[in-house]
Amino acid sequence: MTVRVQAAPFAYGAECEAFAAAAQGAGAVVTFCGLVRDNDGTLHGMEIEHYPGMTERALAKIEAEARSRWALSDALIVHRHGPLAPGEMIMMVATASRHRADAFAAAEFLMDYLKSRAPFWKKERTEEGTAWVAARDEDEDALRRW
Amino acid sequence: MKLTVLYFAWLRERIGLPRETVETDAVTVADLIAELSAREERYALAFADLKAVRVALDQDLSDFDAALDGVREIAFFPPMTGG
């Protein structure tokens, strides 16, 4: 079980390979990666602010909650902060379990929770200037299904 | 008591600083917000719409009614937008 918060890019392919190789006894690995959407070319860049200390703590709690709900043999969360360009990878999750249903459900759960329960804030830069991304009601609603 | 108060995202920008140490007798989070808002206009503006503000006590999400007794670090920030 690993949580990493970093400014540096990560190698998605290598992370997935290493995660799968280490998933002893698992029959399924699910991976997901989030990218900076370019919003049809209007986004010039993004800055992600976070709360050092609480971020790691919140992600570890979310991961522990996922482990208590599904039979996971391993889980990984990597989330970046700092300046990001359109198309760059922001974050990834990986889950491993005996059967795929647990790994899929846990990966979706991790995504839903880290969108609105981990202290990250996105600021977008466009031609008009910079603006903080507003939280969406749908993201809050998504938590109710769990 | 002495509290470390942290601000993030647009709250940090509106108030104009990322952190400060506050000497206060506030009993709850709401009391502290009232105290800060009375201090200067920029705080009053930042805390004008509490529906858009979240709070964490010692790095755990909390709410405005929570007691500050024993708390060392309090953070104010907008709803989170990770992922």
pLDDT of residue A68: 97
pLDDT of residue A1: 87
pLDDT 10s digits, A56-108? 999 999 999 999 999 999 999 999 999 999 999 999 999 999 999 999 999 99
Q: Which of B39, B49, B57, B38 is nearest to B11 (CA)?
A: B49
CA B21, B5, B13: angle at the middle one, nearest 5? Answer: 110
Q: Which residue of B has its CA nearest to A131?
A: B10
pLDDT of residue A134: 92
User: Is B19 at the interface with chain A, CB within 8 A?
Assistant: no
CA distances from A74 to A26, A51, A96, A98, A106 (A): 9, 25, 5, 10, 11
pLDDT of residue A47: 97
Report CB contact under 8 Å: B81, A135: yes
The CATH number covering residue A10 comes to 3.90.1170.40
Distance CA A145, CA A109 (A): 9
Residues of chain A contacting residue B12, judged by C-beta atoms under 8 Å apart: 49
Q: Which of A32, A43, A54, A36 is nearest to A104 (CA)?
A: A32
| Contacts (Cβ under 8 Å, ≥6 apart) of B15 | B7, B42, B43, B46
Residues of chain A contacting residue B79, judged by C-beta atoms under 8 Å apart: 116, 134-135, 140
Domain count, chain A: 1
Q: Does residue A104 lie in a domain region?
A: yes
Give the model's confidence band at A117: pLDDT under 50 very low, under 70 low, under 90 confident, else very high.
very high
Report CB contact under 8 Å: B10, A117: no
Mean pLDDT score across all residues of chain A: 95
Is B2-77 in CATH node 3.40.50.10480?
no
Distance CA A107, CA A99 (A): 13
pLDDT 10s digits, B3-37? 999 999 999 999 999 999 999 999 999 999 999 99
Q: Which domain holds residue A106?
A: 2-134
* pLDDT reading at A24 higher than 90: no
Q: Does residue A143 lie in a domain region?
A: no
